[in-house]
């Protein structure tokens, strides 16, 4: 631009100002609010389990249920083994179900999109004689999207490495990735994952903030060579 044009612009319109500054997109990282669990020693009394549930208000809660259909975990499990889950004030949405093949431990993944807050215990009702080793694992989170559920997956087999992979590609990088590992002996979270609730040495939920947009996400744990069942669920951030 010539000096003459600059002079005319200044004379009639004032000094030229730069355009608006557009900063980088800020990702709000999912942040843990609270967590807790409950487990029945064998069959839950009257096939019912009550778990303390006291997240802050307006959080996203992730709830995993785990159970066997009999004392030896040999009978097949079904999603209908869980007849109800409620705390009287929140809406529970089912996001995934995983049934073991070589080990008949099952998991069902639920979500509460926006918690009421306060203490409102979760009551889980299993079908008759189905709530063996019933386990409820929950965690609540900030900075989760309004429509958060993205991908889920299951894994089972017999190996020293427990593996669960999402069935599809995640739509964001650095999502909240939650998973449950259940196996034999002492089980340890895989690289990048942090244990949340240790219901037993061989059964716990865990998380990482990770994954790459357009790719599947894998959760792993290590154990002695044993039959296992695992599950994974991912949730989008703000």
pTM of the model: 0.88
Specify the pLDDT at position 210.
97
pLDDT band at 7 (very low <50, low <70, confident <90, very high): very low
Work out the average pLDDT over 202-231: 96
With CA atoms as reference, report the closest residue to 87 among 140, 151, 144: 140
The pLDDT mean for the chain works out to 89
8 part of a folded domain: no
Range 178-201 average pLDDT: 95
Report the pLDDT value the prediction gives residue 16, as an integer from 0 to 100: 45
142 or 42, higher pLDDT:
142
Residue 7 falls inside a structural domain:
no
Higher local confidence (pLDDT), 155 or 41: 155
3-state secondary structure of 18: coil
Q: Is 106 within the bounds of a domain? A: yes
In a domain, 3, yes or no: no
- Is pLDDT larger for residue 105 or for residue 163? 163
How many angstroms separate the CA atoms of 134 and 125, rounded?
A: 10
Say whether 187 sits in a helix, a strand or coil.
coil
Q: Which domain does 61 fall in, by range? A: 26-237
Q: Number of folded domains in the chain? A: 1
Q: Residue 151 pLDDT more than 90? A: yes
The whole-number pLDDT of residue 184 equals 87
In a domain, residue 10? The reply is no
- HSE-CB for 4 with a 13 A CA cutoff: 0
The pLDDT value given to residue 112: 98
Residue 104: predicted pLDDT: 72
pLDDT of residue 45: 87
Per-residue CA distances from 171 to 48, 213, 224 (Å)? 37, 5, 34
More confident call, 189 vs 22: 189
Cβ–Cβ contacts within 10 Å for residue 129, how many? 13
23-48 confidence digits (pLDDT tens)? 455 678 999 999 999 999 888 988 99
Is 225 within the bounds of a domain?
yes
What's the pLDDT score for residue 4? 44
Q: Cα angle at 170 between 237 and 187, to 5 degrees?
A: 90
Taking 50 as the threshold, does the pLDDT of residue 194 lie above it? yes
Q: By the 8 A CB rule, do 53 and 33 touch?
A: no
Whether the Cβ atoms of residue 68 and residue 119 lie closer than 8 Å to each other: no
Would residue 98 count as lying in a domain?
yes
What percent of the chain stands above pLDDT 90?
75
Q: Which residue carries 């109800």 as its tokens?
A: 84
E strand spans, 69-214: 82-86, 93-99, 105-112, 122-126, 132-142, 144-165, 175-182, 188-189, 194-200, 203-210
């Amino acid at each position: 631009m010539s000096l003459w044009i600059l002079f005319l612009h200044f004379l009639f319109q004032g000094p030229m100002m730069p355009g608006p500054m557009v900063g980088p997109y800020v990702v709000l990282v999912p942040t843990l609010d609270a967590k807790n669990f409950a487990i029945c020693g064998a069959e839950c009394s009257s096939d019912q389990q009550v778990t303390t549930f006291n997240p802050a208000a307006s959080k996203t809660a992730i709830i995993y249920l785990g159970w066997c259909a009999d004392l030896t975990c040999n009978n097949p499990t079904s999603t209908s083994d869980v007849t109800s889950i409620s705390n009287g004030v929140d809406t529970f949405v089912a996001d995934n179900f995983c049934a073991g093949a070589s080990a008949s431990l099952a998991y069902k993944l639920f979500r509460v999109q926006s918690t009421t807050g306060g203490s409102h215990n979760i009551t889980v009702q299993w079908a008759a004689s189905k709530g063996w080793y019933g386990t409820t694992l929950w965690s609540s989170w900030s900075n989760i999207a309004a429509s958060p559920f993205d991908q889920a997956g299951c894994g089972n087999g017999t190996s020293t490495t427990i593996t669960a992979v999402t069935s599809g590609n995640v739509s964001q990088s650095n999502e909240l990735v939650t998973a449950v590992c259940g196996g034999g002996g002492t089980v340890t979270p895989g690289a990048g994952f942090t244990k949340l609730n240790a219901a037993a040495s061989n059964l716990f939920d865990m998380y990482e903030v990770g994954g790459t947009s357009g790719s599947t996400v894998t959760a792993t744990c290590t154990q002695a060579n044993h039959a296992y069942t695992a599950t994974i669920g991912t949730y989008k951030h703000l």
